[in-house]
Amino acid sequence: MGVNGLKFCVIGGGIGGLAAALALRQQGGDITVLEQAPALTEVGAGLQISANGMAVLRALGVVSETPEAGQRSFGTELRDYRHGRLISQIPSPKAGPTYYYHRADLLDLLHAGAVRVGVDIRLDVCVETVLTTPDGAHVQLENGTQIEADCIIAADGGRSRIRPILNGPEEPRFTRQTAWRATIPWRGRDDTPRAVLTMGPGRHVVTYPLRDQNLMNIVAVEERSDWRAEGWRQEGDPKDLRARFADFGGTVGEILDRVEQANLWALFLRPVAQQWQNGRLALLGDAAHPTLPFMAQGACLALEDAWCLARTFQNQPDIARALSAYETTRKPRATKVVAAAGVNARNFHLRGPARLVAQAGLMVLGPQLGRRYDWIYDYDPTV
């Protein structure tokens, strides 16, 4: 059927929402994005976009073969926390390199691409709810306005308000993991920049350079059961960060010493949604399949969803069948990737003898280990 002449409302102007809006608009849809934030800004933090996500960004036309705003990765180093000792090096996936992006830069690229093709992006509008019938749908805004649409895409993130309409009420579960995120100025001149994953008991730190190695991105994750904050994110105290990772030595210790400002995320999860769509309304990105960040795939999956959603409209005779095909295609893959991230949550934080045994295995198997995840990176939704 294609999407020509169909009116879509996309709820959420994050990576998933903007990518979906752009993909649907490129096929001729009439697209409105509704974003609650007054501006599309992001606090300082990085994202790793692996080959599967890069394929979508290229197909959308927002990045070139050698993306300017992205920092090319040459693989990942695994290190032990105590003195930063190198355990193993994992080369880039054979599907192609990962790129490190500042989130704000990636959002800018998607936003500019969407505006260029005529997506109507409305900021500072909060969606209250959505009503659907077999014949149509409308979005109800908190300010009382209603917007009619043929189809609604809810890309409203891991705390999606719209998801319970399809799946009933579900309280997000605190995973007992919290993530500190920060960036520091950096003057990297490495010809082959890599991410460094430093693992310790109950904690790990991932660092990688951004913006031509002028910034270093830091994600420090710790198991923690005492989260009391109401929100999912709060400003953290760098002194507290240092104290909690005081036994992390080597370069990562020096990097943590230089943090002046940090944000702290409590990692809450809902399971992959049982129901993704009802024939007029579909979930996309974290709204459908929130994930722990330990495979660095949440944004990549959202990009895959966006491309796949737009493409199913080309091959199906009506909206209901297009959304059903989208769910059928995407759910198994998203479920498998989310499960892989859950397994890493355990592997990164091993304690005692289990940690030593795992490190010995990593030393022997290191380079082949990356191949274990080829099924994630080899997948190209655009072919």
Ligand X SMILES: Cc1cc2nc3c(=O)[nH]c(=O)nc-3n(C[C@H](O)[C@H](O)[C@H](O)COP(=O)(O)OP(=O)(O)OC[C@H]3O[C@@H](n4cnc5c(N)ncnc54)[C@H](O)[C@@H]3O)c2cc1C
Task: Give the length of the chain.
Answer: 383
Residues numbered 21-50 forming contacts with ligand X, rule: CB under 6 A: 34-37, 47-48
What Å distances lie between residue 192 and 48, 182, 331, 374, CA to CA? 16, 22, 36, 21
One of 22, 114, 218, 299 touching ligand X (CB under 6 A): 299
Site size toward ligand X (CB under 6 A) is 32
Residue 20 binds ligand X (CB under 6 A): no
One of 285, 313, 334, 370 touching ligand X (CB under 6 A): 285
One of 127, 184, 215, 283 touching ligand X (CB under 6 A): 127
CB of 295 to ligand X, least distance (A): 8
CB of 305 to ligand X, least distance (A): 8
One of 80, 108, 222, 286 touching ligand X (CB under 6 A): 286
**Would the CA dihedral through 361, 192, 206, 341 be positive or negative?**
negative
Rg (CA), the chain: 21
Strand-pairing partners, residue 31, are: 8
One of 10, 12, 92, 200 touching ligand X (CB under 6 A): 12
One of 219, 269, 319, 325 touching ligand X (CB under 6 A): 219
CB of 285 to ligand X, least distance (A): 2
Residue 15 binds ligand X (CB under 6 A): yes
Select 301 or 325, whichever has its Cβ closest to ligand X.
Answer: 301
| SS3 sequence of 252-310 | HHHHHHCCCCEEEEEEEECCCCCCCECCCEEECHHHCCCCCHHHCCHHHHHHHHHHHHH
> Which region among 86-94, 164-172, 252-260, 290-298 touches ligand X (by CB under 6 A)?
290-298
Backbone torsions φ then ψ of 120, nearest 5 degrees: -90, 110
One of 7, 58, 138, 161 touching ligand X (CB under 6 A): 161
Residue 205 binds ligand X (CB under 6 A): no
Torsion angle, alpha carbons of 197, 291, 269, 263, to 10: 50
One of 24, 296, 309, 376 touching ligand X (CB under 6 A): 296
At 242, the amino acid letter reads: R
DSSP-derived letter for residue 5 is T
Select 15 or 340, whichever has its Cβ closest to ligand X.
Answer: 15
CB of 124 to ligand X, least distance (A): 9
The stretches of 61-193 forming alpha helices (DSSP H) are: 103-116, 163-167
Q: What are the residues whose beta carbons fall under 8 Å from the beta carbon of 77, sequence distance 6 or more?
A: 86, 88, 89, 90, 194, 195, 196, 197
- Which residues of the chain form contacts with ligand X (CB under 6 A)? 11-17, 34-37, 47-48, 126-127, 155-157, 161, 179, 181, 219, 265, 285-286, 293, 296-300, 302
